[in-house]
Homo-oligomer: A and B are copies of this chain.
Amino acid sequence: MVGEDVLVTGGTGFIGSHVVEELVDRGYSVTVLTHSHSRGNLWNVIDQVKLIVADISRTAWLSEVPRARTVIHLACNQRSFSFRRPQRDVSVNLMGSVNVLEYARKHDARIIFSSNSGIYGACVQAKEDDPVNCSTPYDVDKYSAELMMRAYKDQYGIKSTVLRFATIYGPRQRINEKKGWMPVVATFAANLLLGRPITIFGDGLQTRDLVFVKDVPDALLRAMHYSAEFDIFNLSSGREMKIVEIFELVSRFVGVKVRPAHAPSSPGDIRRMSYSNEKIRRELGWKPRTSPEEGIRLTVDAIRQELGQEHR
């Protein structure tokens, strides 16, 4: 509804910025909670949102943030950091989520939570009721946050909708090779565009289920108006793509042919991933609109433009 208050945690981040832009576009009144003092990726709509800088794992923000009807809870520490700083992972990904629950309890807000499909472990067409297999502290914290939401629903009637994100990619996704944060499409694209050597971890036959970032806000908006008290959905394409296939596509749009080096697999890396999106199609009417070809082309174009600007 136009003018309705929405709080977006992690709203200056990669996914968050796309979500906030869409919300502003549709006339929502948006508050963004971010740990960063920079505007992050939010430059387009920064003047149209209320920005609150706070550490989500602490409780100070609970009294600072005005009432919202919905919390879109995206703030998190990334999976690849989680064995290096497991305590920080617990703080941000679980304690942060408990704080969001307490906020929701205080204001009778509804939560839309970005969980992660990595919690299934290796799987093909995993369904929401399938058993989980957590292999990193990140997985445990995301899954625990889901369990907390379920407990708060039973105890207090707090409504949460959990979306288990598959591999989201697209414009604005950051890379941090030193910290081991190398999202597949962005890393290939940036390295190919910069003429740097390419490394594929493992044999490259491991698969990912890719969702273009511009397809995410629509799912969250649909979840905002979903009636169930507590529910879980995969946010996925349902399609398995091999790392080497993704590399081929990125190479095609960059317009180069390079032979990648191979390095050992990363800790906690998952061999096969794909997640059924039957439930989200059926219950929320969402489906991925952007093909991998289209999405990867748009991502390569965006990174090319960013790099061009940076090097001008």
Q: What residues of chain A have their CB less than 8 Å away from a CB belonging to chain B?
A: 59, 83, 86-87, 90-91, 94-95, 98-99, 101-102, 134-137, 139-141, 143-144, 147-148, 150-151, 154-155, 267-268
**CA of A304 to CA of B287, assembled, Å:** 67
Cβ contacts under 8 Å, A99 to chain B: 87
Hey, which chain B residues are within 8 Å of A155, CB to CB? 83, 135-136, 267-268
Q: Is the interface of A mostly helix, strand, loop or mixed?
A: helix
Taking A134-B151, A140-B147, A140-B148 as known contacts, 7 extra A-B pairs with beta carbons closer than 8 A to each other, sorted by chain A number, are A87-B99, A95-B95, A135-B151, A135-B154, A135-B155, A137-B148, A140-B144
* A95→B102 contact, CB < 8 A: no
With contacts A94-B144, A147-B143, A150-B134 taken as known, whether A59 is within 8 angstroms of B86 at the C-beta atoms is no
Nearest residue in B to A101 (C-beta to C-beta)? B86
Distance to closest chain B CB from A120 (angstroms):
13
**Residue from A91, A98, A102 having most chain B Cβ neighbours under 10 A:** A98
> A235 vs B143: C-alpha distance in the bound complex, in angstroms?
25
Chain B residues within 8 Å of A143, by CB: 144, 147
